[in-house]
Structure 1
Amino acid sequence: MKIVIALTLLLFTLAGCATAVSQSPQQAAQSAAILFEQQKFNLIWIPAADNAISGAMASALIGSAGLDSPIVSSIHQIIAPASEADVRVAISGVNSSFAANSAISALNNTTTMLPKLQLAFIGSKSDSEAVRSAVEAKGGKFLHSTPNGS
């Protein structure tokens, strides 16, 4: 739990320089609480780059960085126990594509199946299908909500 809190604080700090946000971490947490039916979960808020060009580049490169990326490594540490223990995690952020690619990279760098993983992605519908495929390929359960709650 301390790791999640530290990660969340780090991500909030990094997000401080980001551009306009379509949702806040609090709104993402509310959406996740509904998806998880008020059960305990971890929220991972992914910051974004300062502008659209940087964001597109970061989103494209996150997959190749793998576990060398602090964001991907942190997600990996949180989801890895789902091979044996129930893990509920919501992933969202300022940039839906970057958050999706971060989650996918963490899942792709996990060598075991994750049958006890429930991953909620709070982001655009266009990004959700790729996350769904990665979660289901690991044997996990996928949940989705858009930033406006649909």
Structure 2
Amino acid sequence: SPDHPVPYAELLNEQTEPVMRELHERGVKCAIASSSYRELIDELVEIAGIADVLDYTISGHECSAFKPDPEIYLRAMEALGVEPAECLVIEDSPLGIEAGKRSSARVLALRPHEGVNLDQSAADTIIDNLADILAAL
């Protein structure tokens, strides 16, 4: 549904694997907190080739509320043993951005493909590509 977009674009982004690998090498803990079904998350992680650099994944279907409720992010942070203030949330949708902000994390919005119009004004920063995450740390 439009409310819970599938993270295909993000996960199959050609920069995903190298950026996640670099984050992992820098000792940054990485999680995927997606509104998609668990099976889909696992399948995309496999396709993207990032299983070995991911510390945690959680599906919105495993939470009591969907984004913009921050529960999914708070649970991921708890699983990783990190404080919200230490966290960077990468999002694209307005609901996801709101969830990230409500978790007290810093939120980077990945600018959508041309022709896609998403209100990303609530994010702390808008980035043009995933490699910008490395500079934002």
* TM-score normalized with structure 1 length: 0.36
* TM-score normalized with structure 2 length: 0.38
